[in-house]
Structure 1
Amino acid sequence: MKSQSATLLAEVRTFRQNHPEVRYVDLIALDIPGHFYGKRYPVEMLEKVAAGSPLKLPQNAVLLGAQGGLFKIGDYCFHDGDPDANRRLVPGTLKPVSWEAQPLGQMLITSDGTEAPIEFEPREVLAKVLERLHHKGIHPVVAFELEFYLFDKKLDDGLPQFARDPLSDDADDQPTLHIERLSRFSEVLDDMAQTAQAQGIDITVITAELGPGQFEINFGHCDDGLRAADWAALFCRSTRGVALKHGYRASFMAKPYLQFPGSGMHVHVSLYDGAGNNLLAAHQQQPLRHAVAGCLALLAHCMPIFSPNHNAFRRLGGTVNAATRASWGFEDRDACVRIPESDPRNLRIEHRLASADANPYLVLAAILAGLEHGLETRQEPIAPLNEDRNSGADFPLEMLDAVRAMQHQAILRDKLGAEFIDVYCENKRQDHLAFQQEINAREYRWFL
């Protein structure tokens, strides 16, 4: 503990020396819907926290709904006195913020690793899964890919407008994979990449996707699953800020246009033993087949994680490469679980089902739980799509059905924690019901 405090204190002091203009630092963490909450600390107070002073925030901040309100979930929120819970600083995440008007810093905080971690905090859920795997001698290497859309900064009566092409000032309203779009939007994309790198995020490939104004960013493979999820979370925050600075609005919304492809979160995962051997490649890749079978077995019960809101379910099966059944395949982007072509050293799965606005900590935790389950049970998977284009198992395509499938699944309750499952399912149920409590114009047109 003393060595960690010394490391944190050195990090804060180095940051103050390198950025004397910064007076405040945002201490931030991801809640259940995937939004950041936290507090803005004077930088001199941050130094005291790094030296060991308590850092406490309300425990129930993790339970916020999609719109920021609190729901009654068991005894939480309205019958527990709204207690504080200890958090800690995440080493290596204190970075300058370049997209705000005033000099600012930010740093991740978490309850995992504290004396009483919050069982339903997303980062803690993932930390427990990773710890269990490490005790079994399994070491994941992870890489996220995130798709997002650029829109005009101004909304039109609440609706998004196509991003304006900086060269022609015309709306970028045509679906295209052309690399010229990267050139036309290079100023904002370069700033996004540089800003992410300044946050310590390993940015690799940038791709123009099929939707108008749609792009994909790939991250480097990381042997620390928590850090890989941190990168995905922090990238979303910085990308939104940089876009606004350039006159755009960046969104990771799963399905902003019905007629164009949605935005996904693709997660590449390989598993290694302590000696660095790829576990999935052993014994003629039989463990790979078991891992795939485990992922598919739990997939239907993880849908509230992979599609965390009403809009995310719109993405499934609508257009390109978005499955409506649990499936797998070699080099097949129609599959939920794709096996990219690679040598045995880099053999991995690519989990393609989650929407871009899903919580990266929970998505990775759910994927790893499926892989672990498969390696334990050693079941054979269904036929890959390469052999049978109709292969696949049904999964829920509506939130309340998905919550029912998740809440009482014994394997998932064991691997992700029963308390987390109960809290998460009720949060999603209440969010969905709250979303329904509004009559829109279409409903009046149809039924008035």
Structure 2
Amino acid sequence: MKSHATPLLAEVRTFRQNHPDVRYVDLIALDIPGHFYGKRYPIEMLEKVAAGSPLKLPQNAVLLGVQGGLFKIGDYCFNDGDPDANRRLVPGTLKPVSWESQPLGQMLITSDGTEAPIEFEPREVLAKVLERLQRKGIHPVVAFELEFYLFDKKLDNGLPQCARDPLSDDPDDQPNLHIERLSRFSEVLDDMAQTAKDQGIDITVITAEIGPGQFEINFGHQGDGMRAADWAALFCRSTRGVALKHGYRASFMAKPYLQFPGSGMHVHVSLYDGAGNNLLAAHQQQPLRHAVAGCLELLPHCMPIFSPNHNAFRRLGGTVNAATRASWGFEDRDACVRIPESDPRNLRIEHRLASADANPYLVLAAILVGLEHGLEAKREPIAPLNEDRTSGTDFPLEMLDAVRAMQHQPVLRDKLGAEFVDVYCENKRQDHLAFQQEIPAREYRWFL
């Protein structure tokens, strides 16, 4: 903490000078389900923290379920006295919040880098993976792509309504994959992009997707994997806020409509050595094949990370580019692991399976572990879809099966941490069981 005190203090003081109307700053971190938790600090107290005062939050805040409740997971939550754990400020993340009614700031916090990091905190899990790869001389370059839907701000009896554009009230009149839709929604999209840039996020391409009101925004390639995941997490927060300001509701829900495509989190990853050479491109791209094989081997065991909730499993096997088997291919969007066409310098994989509402820290950690495992095991992958359209291996399509497949997988327990795997699996199991504790109207129609 002390090593960061001077630059952090300068960052806070500069922020106060540039934003004298800001009185409070939200200190935020991502929990296991991918929601932000934290505290709203007076700016004066933030300066004290930056100068070295302790920053503590309950350890078990990381264990919150989707609806914010606590589950009994081992001795956590109910038999541990609900202890505090140290957090630290993440340098470079203090930014203004423009979507609230009052001036506000926000800043990321984390337990990684403290004297006693929380083993199951998502950011700490990724930090350990990145540190291990760095010791091995492997340096990932990462770029996220996120799909999301815009809905009307008001729900209709709890159901989402399509976002109405200025030219039509008919959602079928929205041109799919058409530049015109970007123009129709340009006011809110431009604000989303500018707000993200104000948060320090490198926004690049914006695409109108197939679903009504569905869009994709790409981020720049980033040599700091942690920062790339930070960008994805912060983008989701700012995008929801900006949408509400414009009278819309933005959602990264995996499958909001059965009849339209779901929303995915696509992650591009390339690996370089210390001299800047692309490791995947060496020896006639043999390491690429090994890395793909590792990803595909572990993919069925990482499904609770890639599809983190009941709805996310609905997206698999959907109408467009959502696989139901672990597969790979060159320039093939039906594959879970796609190899985009590129020169050897930029050779990379595109991991396409995760849903847009997955936790970006954990998704990236799982992908990197797959690549690492493949480079170590040096196995050949199954045939690509380009050679065999039936190629692929099965993976779980239901949460409880997925949890069982993940919990005792030795590579994941070793490389992601056994404590994390146990805590995460139990969190997902309990969330799934809690979701089932409501009888929907259809069940009465069918069985009453």
Q: TM-score, normalised by structure 1?
A: 0.99
Q: How far off its partner does 1:366 sit?
A: 0.1
1:62–1:152 distance in 2 versus 1, CA, 3 Å: same
Q: How far off its partner does 1:406 sit?
A: 0.1
Contact 1:148 1:215 in 2 (8 A): yes
SS state at 1:168 partner: coil
SS state at 1:172 partner: helix
Out of 45-54 and 172-181, give the one that drifted further.
Answer: 172-181
Out of 1-10 and 101-110, give the one that drifted further.
Answer: 1-10
Contact 1:254 1:312 in 2 (8 A): yes
Deviation track 1:28-71 (CA, whole Å, cap 9, x = no partner) reads: 00000000000000000000000000000000000000000000
SS state at 1:223 partner: coil
Q: Distance in 1 between matches of 2:92 and 2:312?
A: 32
Give the share of equivalent positions with the same residue, in percent.
93
Q: Distance in 1 between matches of 2:67 and 2:324?
A: 28
Q: How far off its partner does 1:7 sit?
A: 0.3
Q: How far off its partner does 1:171 sit?
A: 3.9
Structure 1: which 5+ residue stretches go unaligned? Answer: none
Show the counterpart of 2:126. 126
Q: How far off its partner does 1:5 sit?
A: 0.7
Q: How far off its partner does 1:4 sit?
A: 1.5
Show the counterpart of 2:190. 190
SS state at 1:37 partner: strand
Q: Distance in 2 between matches of 1:271 and 1:436?
A: 41
Q: Distance in 2 between matches of 1:3 and 1:426?
A: 36
Contact 2:175 2:181 in 1 (8 A): no
Map residues 19-418 of structure 1 onto 2, 5 A cutoff: 19-171=19-171, 174=174, 176-418=176-418
Deviation track 1:253-291 (CA, whole Å, cap 9, x = no partner) reads: 000000000000000000000000000000000000000
Contact 1:162 1:213 in 2 (8 A): yes
Q: Distance in 1 between matches of 2:174 and 2:414?
A: 47
Deviation track 1:350-369 (CA, whole Å, cap 9, x = no partner) reads: 00000000000000000000
Contact 1:163 1:172 in 2 (8 A): no
Q: How many residues align?
A: 448
Q: Distance in 2 between matches of 1:138 and 1:386?
A: 29
1:347–1:43 distance in 2 versus 1, CA, 3 Å: same
Q: How far off its partner does 1:167 sit?
A: 3.1
Q: Distance in 2 between matches of 1:89 and 1:349?
A: 32
Contact 2:399 2:429 in 1 (8 A): yes
Q: How far off its partner does 1:426 sit?
A: 0.1
Contact 1:175 1:211 in 2 (8 A): no
Out of 160-169 and 277-286, give the one that drifted further.
Answer: 160-169
Contact 1:196 1:203 in 2 (8 A): yes
Q: Distance in 1 between matches of 2:256 and 2:27?
A: 30
SS state at 2:172 partner: coil
Contact 1:173 1:213 in 2 (8 A): no
Q: TM-score, normalised by structure 2?
A: 0.99
Contact 2:9 2:47 in 1 (8 A): yes
Deviation track 1:312-331 (CA, whole Å, cap 9, x = no partner) reads: 00000021000000000000
Q: Distance in 2 between matches of 1:252 and 1:211?
A: 13
Q: Distance in 2 between matches of 1:170 and 1:256?
A: 18
Q: How far off its partner does 1:2 sit?
A: 4.0
Q: How far off its partner does 1:175 sit?
A: 6.5
Contact 1:162 1:173 in 2 (8 A): no
Show the counterpart of 2:11. 11
Deviation track 1:130-155 (CA, whole Å, cap 9, x = no partner) reads: 00000000000000000000000000
SS state at 1:182 partner: helix
Contact 1:147 1:217 in 2 (8 A): yes
Contact 2:399 2:432 in 1 (8 A): yes
Q: Distance in 1 between matches of 2:243 and 2:340?
A: 32
Contact 2:171 2:212 in 1 (8 A): no
Q: Distance in 2 between matches of 1:327 and 1:416?
A: 23
Q: How far off its partner does 1:166 sit?
A: 1.9
Q: Distance in 1 between matches of 2:165 and 2:422?
A: 46
Contact 1:165 1:172 in 2 (8 A): no
Q: How far off its partner does 1:168 sit?
A: 3.5
Q: Distance in 2 between matches of 1:175 and 1:283?
A: 45
Q: Distance in 1 between matches of 2:201 and 2:56?
A: 27
Contact 1:280 1:286 in 2 (8 A): yes
Q: Distance in 1 between matches of 2:139 and 2:446?
A: 54
Q: Distance in 2 between matches of 1:107 and 1:319?
A: 39
SS state at 2:341 partner: coil
Q: Distance in 1 between matches of 2:41 and 2:175?
A: 44
Contact 2:196 2:235 in 1 (8 A): yes
Q: How far off its partner does 1:172 sit?
A: 5.8
SS state at 2:149 partner: strand
Structure 2: which 5+ residue stretches go unaligned? Answer: none
Q: How far off its partner does 1:176 sit?
A: 1.2
Contact 1:328 1:385 in 2 (8 A): yes
Q: Distance in 1 between matches of 2:83 and 2:296?
A: 39
Q: Distance in 1 between matches of 2:292 and 2:173?
A: 38
Q: Distance in 2 between matches of 1:323 and 1:66?
A: 25
Deviation track 1:278-311 (CA, whole Å, cap 9, x = no partner) reads: 0000000000000000000000000000000000
SS state at 2:133 partner: helix
Q: Distance in 2 between matches of 1:391 and 1:215?
A: 30
